[in-house]
Chain A
């Protein structure tokens, strides 16, 4: 029914104000809750860095492997395997646009850098120039330190493995 009287219209509007407000709040809540549940932005950079680090420290890529029983000793690095070629052969992904890593062994006794190797070196050099910049195509670096033992022939030494992992942001 249409109310023709002005007084009636105003009264009707005032009565409906609460209802309209309630409806607006309900709609707002509905959209907010839907937004909370729909995840359309996944940040996997850190996960990629962790997976790459794990792949390196727990595999036979650089860790010493006892040939008699094929057992791998995570935490003991075999220097004969600590080079770019072995890393790219053992950790061979079909795409080269993922993580790039610089690995450095620092000797514990004097703090000097002893050995350096790269996984995906070409990509590392490209990404290094666009670190901490904004926009797609930039990259983020994650640094990880692990105390390790490195084995050069029959000689063992204590050191620290420093991993600079760069992950592209796009």
Chain B
């Protein structure tokens, strides 16, 4: 009891306790700042990179729609026009063939392997009658499905619209990039070496 009374009366002990908690709280705040800064920095870097690659995917989609429809024997029409025509019948055989040929050699993106290229076309469903017609999506995939145990998959998407005969047609191009863990490590080392150079 005497000891407890002493403790409560001990002003110096109070000071030390206050100092201790002040340091603890301060350390926690510093830690939070560190986390905040490190997270926001990495997010900024990755978002800048993603913007660049999304731009490339956007260029690919625009080029695809603007390209002449060579594989179906009519270079006077663009692939975009063929898609519009196909949407009226619901038979996208020509579009699929053009898609397969056009993206045949796209194997890498930003230095890493492309695992899959997918195109989604959404337009009016030609099976239903004109009044109750719903929207339908046709999907074509050119995929490699490379096997991997550890790594990262990044998906980049670009979307645009085509004027259809009945309503607009949505065209979406998605590219899935596969980055193996070893490639990620190599890229990080390379970047580090580059930073050290400067």
The residues of A with any CB-CB pair to B shorter than 8 Å are 15, 18-19, 21-22, 25-26, 29, 32-33, 36, 41, 43, 45-46, 50, 54, 57, 73-76, 106, 108-109, 111, 132, 134-136, 138, 140, 142-149, 156-160, 169
Interchain CB contact under 8 A, B64 and A147: yes
- Give Cα A108 to B198, complex, Å: 40
B70 contacts partner chain A, Cβ-Cβ < 8 Å: yes
Extra contacts besides A18-B19, A25-B27, A43-B198 (14): CB < 8 Å: A29-B33, A33-B33, A36-B37, A43-B194, A50-B55, A74-B59, A75-B67, A108-B101, A132-B190, A136-B198, A146-B56, A146-B63, A149-B68, A156-B70
Of B105-113, B143-151, B163-171, which binds chain A? B105-113
Give the contacts of B69-127 with A (CB-CB under 8 A).
Answer: 70, 75, 101-111
Task: Given A18-B20, A25-B27, A134-B197, answer yes or no on A73-B66 (Cβ-Cβ < 8 Å).
Answer: yes
B34 surroundings in chain A (CB, below 8 A) = 32
Min Cβ gap B35→A in Å is 12
Contact of A146 among B33, B60, B194, B196 (CB under 8 A): B60
Interface pair B106/A18, CB less than 8 Å apart: no
Chain B residues whose C-beta falls within 8 Å of the C-beta of A74 in the assembled complex: 59, 62-63, 66
Minimum CB–CB distance for B169 against chain A, Å: 19
Please encode chain B, from 7 to 48, with 1 for each CB lying within 8 Å of some chain A CB and 0 for all others.
000001001100110110011001001100100000000000
Residues of B within 8 A of A147 (CB): 60, 63-64, 102-103, 105-106
Q: Is the interface of B mostly helix, strand, loop or mixed?
A: helix
Cα(A26)–Cα(B67), bound, Å: 62
Selected contact of A108 from candidates B68, B104, B194, CB within 8 Å: B104
With A106-B105, A108-B104, A160-B106 given, is the CB distance from A57 to B59 under 8 Å? yes
Q: How many pairs of A and B residues are in contact by the CB < 8 Å rule?
A: 109
Give residues 142-198 of B contacting A (CB, 8 Å): 190, 193-198
CB distance from A13 to the nearest CB of B (A): 13
Most buried by A among B55, B59, B70, B109: B59
Q: Decide yes or no: A157 and B70 within 8 Å by CB, A111-B105, A147-B60 being known contacts.
A: yes
Contact A75 B62 (CB under 8 A): yes
Q: Which residues of B contact A144 (CB under 8 A)?
A: 56, 110
Residues of A within 8 A of B107 (CB): 145
In the complex, which of the residues A22, A41, A143 contacts B111, with contact meaning CB atoms closer than 8 Å? Answer: A143
